[in-house]
Structure 1
Amino acid sequence: MTYAHRATRFRALHRTGEPLLLPNAWDHASAAALAHGGFRAIGTTSLGVAAAAGKADATGGTREETLRLARGLARLPALVTVDIEGGFSERPEEVAELAVELVRAGVVGVNIEDGRPDGTLTGTAQQCELIRAVKESVPDLFVNARTDTYWLRAGGAEETARRAAAYQLAGADGLFVPGLQDEEAIAGLVAGVIDIPLNILYAPGALTYRRLAELGVRRVSSGSLLFRAALHAAVGTARSIARGGAVPEDLPSYADAQALAAPYLSATHGEEV
């Protein structure tokens, strides 16, 4: 299957049927397990990628780790979208170069965010330049424009709507608003502000996948949740062993884990998707 066909398929997942439930992986094994579990599309979590490399998230220090992981994940039988934080550069041409490398690897989408490490937001005009540079270089790449207005408590509904409209005009294919759980604000974005798919971050104890679907959300991401759940399970299992307790009986075997890599070592860019 050609890159154009896979890019079209990924785009269609945001427009037809049930909202895209996008699990986020942090390494090859987690992504392969999710693909084996039947998920047609997989994202990456910048927190998981950074933490696995012993680095801090959202500081622009994991460009090489992100690119290296993306090249491996694109061999899986799933459509892959990658979190590139703020693009790992403030220069549009450098962000576009990264996007080109990702497309060459077989990646069909990226998240690019406007939040800065100091807790402020990148200027709207500057963020639009980054989005335009990427879309001009690789038009088929699905650019999910993330705005951290709610995440950073920097503007609320009005600022979110303003940035959403600007990012769509700049060429964004989707809008991601992590931290947004207000039903009225979500419905307002869907009904009157944008006509590109809205992506919401799943939050335990908040709006369910079904309710988000009813509100018109077209993509629901897990973010770093799976990575954090894995850490919790690992520590909990170790403590259970130390206390003489039981461990889950349905864990993957050694052979199961080994098999996660074997089928994809010589595969070519998700040709089984």
Structure 2
Amino acid sequence: MSKAAQFRALHDRPEPLLLPNPWDAGTARILAGMGFEALATTSLGVALAKGRTGATRQEILDNCREIDAATPLPVNADLENGFAHDPEEAAKTIALAVEAGAAGASIEDFTGDGSNPIYDFELAVDRVRAAVEVAGDVVLTARAEGILHRAKDLNDTIKRLQAFEQAGADVLYAPGLRTLQEMRAVVSEVGKPVNVVMGFADPSITIEQLAEIGVRRISIGGAFARLALKSFMDAAGQMRAGRFGFVADLPPLAELVKSLG
């Protein structure tokens, strides 16, 4: 079975797929060793590793290739808006991710322009349709970003996800859903699997609750990368103050080597 077929099958079962987000080969191997069944890249994680808040298309594609090669697991590629406004140009990024080994790929309706953050409805749908045409067997996720980037309007988000579903998207995703009520509202109005990202959600929500309302995939976005940097900054702050208590928390080197497989 191809990685794309494996990834698609993981969306067809009743229990949600836990989809963690590594940012390099090492973190990918650790997650694979912990028993996760698939992985997803994070564009924020790539950018932070480069010392920026944004990454280039080539950096994201290279990261996808690196993570795909690191483990036997299928990989979903976070491709932002496809690095182009035009539907056909954005779809080329999907095709390049497939060449880089992606078993899944996403396209979003965030323009990257803070003054006009969300593509007009028809253009957003055309972009998803173009992405579907080049995705082939790869699982195509369509993201409606309005909750994050403009006045929160759940009805508009649902309308967009329904249109993305009709355009052929395999998975639907609205970053910024916080409550079970909001998540249930989305799941109940669409027919394709819904991805929920817990990086923006009420952290008290459990996987059992998400399964009960019909969520099929759970990701974490750039949260792991941010947590790793927070730990780094805390330890560096201690060192800058001339204190070294953080070394007491260091895992044995042999344990780290073992976790890398």
Q: TM-score range with shorter-chain normalisation?
A: 0.7 to 0.9
Say if 1:55 and 1:62, in contact at 8 Å, map to a contact too: no
1:250, CA displacement in angstroms? 6.1
Give per-residue Cα distances to partners, 1:151-181, cap 9 Å, x unaligned: 1243522101110111011111111111112
What is the aligned length?
254
1:15, CA displacement in angstroms? 2.2
C-alpha distance in 2 between matches for 1:21 and 1:62: 27
Give per-residue Cα distances to partners, 1:88-120, cap 9 Å, x unaligned: 111222222222222122211112111233342
Higher helix share: 2
1:188, CA displacement in angstroms? 2.4
C-alpha distance in 1 between matches for 2:86 and 2:244: 55
Q: Which amino acid aligns with 1:245?
A: G
| Matching of residue 92 in structure 1 with residue 87 in structure 2 | yes
Task: Map residues 93-242 of structure 1 onto 2, 5 A cutoff.
Answer: 93-119=88-114, 120-191=117-188, 193-202=189-198, 203=201, 205-240=203-238, 242=242
Between 14-23 and 83-92, the greater mean CA deviation after superposition: 14-23
Task: Map residues 3-14 of structure 1 onto 2, 5 A cutoff.
Answer: 5-14=2-11
C-alpha distance in 1 between matches for 2:10 and 2:119: 29
Q: Secondary structure at the match of 2:245?
A: coil
Residue 60 (structure 2) aligns with: 66
Structure 1 alignment gaps of length 5 or more: 264-273
Say if 1:53 and 1:65, in contact at 8 Å, map to a contact too: no
C-alpha distance in 2 between matches for 1:225 and 1:146: 18
Residue 50 (structure 1) aligns with: 47
Residues 233/204 of structure 1: CA separation in 2 closer, same or farther (3 Å cut): farther
Between 113-122 and 157-166, the greater mean CA deviation after superposition: 113-122
Identity of aligned residues (%): 38
Give per-residue Cα distances to partners, 1:33-77, cap 9 Å, x unaligned: 2122221111111111112123333xxx51010111111222222
Between 251-260 and 211-220, the greater mean CA deviation after superposition: 251-260
Q: Which amino acid aligns with 1:228?
A: R
Q: Secondary structure at the match of 2:140?
A: strand
Q: Secondary structure at the match of 1:24?
A: coil
Flag the structure with more relative contact order, 1 or 2, with Cα contacts below 8 A and sequence separation at least 6.
1
2:33 to 29, 32, 36: 36
C-alpha distance in 2 between matches for 1:220 and 1:83: 14
Give the TM-score normalised by the residue count of structure 2.
Answer: 0.88
C-alpha distance in 2 between matches for 1:152 and 1:138: 26
Q: Secondary structure at the match of 1:25?
A: coil
Q: Secondary structure at the match of 2:147?
A: coil
Between 146-155 and 164-173, the greater mean CA deviation after superposition: 146-155
Q: Secondary structure at the match of 1:34?
A: helix
Residue 251 (structure 2) aligns with: 251
Q: Which amino acid aligns with 1:253?
A: L
Between 138-147 and 28-37, the greater mean CA deviation after superposition: 28-37
Between 176-185 and 76-85, the greater mean CA deviation after superposition: 176-185
Give the TM-score normalised by the residue count of structure 1.
Answer: 0.84
Say if 2:144 and 2:174, in contact at 8 Å, map to a contact too: yes
C-alpha distance in 2 between matches for 1:91 and 1:163: 18
Give per-residue Cα distances to partners, 1:179-211, cap 9 Å, x unaligned: 1123333222222x2111111111363423332
